[in-house]
Amino acid sequence: MLKSIAVMTSGGDSPGMNAAARAVVRTALYEGVKVWGINNGYHGLLEEDMFEMQSKNVGDIIQRGGTFLGTARCRRWQTPEGRMQGFKNLVDRGIQGLVVIGGDGSLRGAQLLSQETGIPIVGLPGTIDNDVWGSDYTIGCDTAANTIIDAINKLRDTASAHRRVIVLEVMGRRSGWLAMVSGISGGAEYILVPEVEYNLDEICDDMKRSYEAGKRYILVVVAEGVGSGKEIGKYISEKTGLDTRVSVLGYIQRGGSPTVIDRVKASQLGERAALAIISGLSDIVFGFDRGNVVSINLHDAVTNKKKLDPEYMHLAKVLA
Ligand code: ADP
């Protein structure tokens, strides 16, 4: 049994990180274990910016987007010397294990720390991109998808009024998950994701035929991993002559009050992470597989590339 643990958020922020950190803290306190909060990810760990937490420190945060602990990107963490310094800063405070909530990069940094120092590490996938291998869910992906749907609903109104083609570029880094689920649930005609090859000339021809047959407007959702929405929109406009507008949603997708799904799942994951690290487990990431919490080997999670569910790809094709 560990007596003192720490929690941090790292990398890109995502809605629900607060719920996860809150659950880690309150579970640890419930189990009678000391728990530290580290501000600003690995950067804060190197700067010794951390404090012992009480239950009230995580009050009034479950409904907030972002992360109350702050997050950062930290170059020094990419060096073994930096990680050794971080380890020392933990040991100096008697911290025996660390929960890292973050994306792909943060989990990779955590895996290296564990490998090099032996300190127990448990990871939680915190990113809107839903791109962590082994889990069909990452903290924040549901809120981000709902934000995109809201934008799509609004864009539809103006697209319909003007008979426009709307190209909407959404986040996701190299993953098409966000584009795919928001495109499906927003009723997009075309969804361009990095995982599926597409032929823009064929799409343009198809669009022209649809307009000739009386279609009022067309919605194209583009994952940022495919390329620039602006360039795709320009190409469509030139090739089809249709009135085309491009919208790049940007950082709005990262923010906002987390949805019920993100709050509940992040809380479940936070509890499991705290219980696991307290009992001395290490090198695991908790995620979800078809509704159930599962543990994933940390090394596997950071070395494998997650695939987009083929069922989504099929559905998008059928419903377009
Ligand atoms: P995310 O966790 O959202 O994927 P980043 O990829 O920016 O965000 O990673 C966050 C931080 O994790 C980086 O600033 C760095 O400190 C650490 N990190 C990322 N990749 C590595 C790596 N390969 N080795 C060590 N640390 C890393």
Mind giving me the DSSP string for 104-155? HHHHHHHHHHHHHH---EEEEEB-TT---TT-S--BTHHHHHHHHHHHHHHH
> pTM for this structure?
0.96
DSSP-assigned letter for residue 309: P
Question: Which residues form ligand 1's pocket by a CB distance below 6 Å?
Answer: 10-12, 42, 73-74, 77-78, 102-106, 108-109, 112, 127
The reply to whether 43 and 111 lie within a common domain is yes
Per the domain annotation, does 308 fall within a domain? Answer: no
The reply to whether 78 and 125 lie within a common domain is yes
Q: In this model, does residue 283 exceed pLDDT 90?
A: yes
Distance CA 182, CA 219 (A): 12
Q: In this model, does residue 4 exceed pLDDT 90?
A: yes
Domain count, the chain: 2
Per the domain annotation, does 320 fall within a domain? Answer: no
For residues 236-256, average pLDDT: 97
Counting ligand 1 atoms within 8 A of each CB, the residue from 98, 108, 306 with the most, and so the one to mutate, is 108
The reply to whether 134 and 270 lie within a common domain is yes
Instruction: Looking at the CA of residue 107, tell me the nearest atom of ligand 1.
Output: 2
Nearest CA among 76, 98, 143 for reference residue 285: 98
For residues 222-227, average pLDDT: 97
What CATH number did the domain enclosing 134 receive?
Answer: 3.40.50.450
The reply to whether 205 and 277 lie within a common domain is no
Per the domain annotation, does 205 fall within a domain? Answer: yes
Distance CA 268, CA 273 (A): 9
The reply to whether 28 and 99 lie within a common domain is yes
pLDDT at 80: 98
Tell me if residue 129 is catalytic: yes
Per the domain annotation, does 313 fall within a domain? Answer: no
Q: Which residue has the higher pLDDT, 85 or 163?
A: 85
Q: Which residues contact 224 (CB under 8 A, 6 or more apart)?
A: 169, 170, 171, 172, 173
The reply to whether 109 and 236 lie within a common domain is no
For residues 129-133, average pLDDT: 97
Per the domain annotation, does 317 fall within a domain? Answer: no
The reply to whether 273 and 129 lie within a common domain is yes
> Where residue 136 falls among pLDDT bands split at 50, 70, 90?
very high
Distance CA 49, CA 53 (A): 13
Which tens digit of pLDDT belongs to each residue from 95-121? 999 999 999 999 999 999 999 999 999
Which tens digit of pLDDT belongs to each residue from 53-71? 999 999 999 999 999 999 9
Per the domain annotation, does 310 fall within a domain? Answer: no
Rg of the Cα atoms in the chain:
22
For residues 249-255, average pLDDT: 96
Instruction: Looking at the CA of residue 43, tell me the nearest atom of ligand 1.
Output: 16
Per the domain annotation, does 207 fall within a domain? Answer: yes
Residue-number span of the structural domain to which 129 is assigned: 4-140+258-303
Which tens digit of pLDDT belongs to each residue from 177-192? 999 999 999 999 999 9
pLDDT at 169: 98
For residues 244-257, average pLDDT: 97
pLDDT at 240: 97
The reply to whether 131 and 169 lie within a common domain is no
Q: In this model, does residue 320 exceed pLDDT 90?
A: no
Pairing mode, strands 4-10 and 97-102: parallel
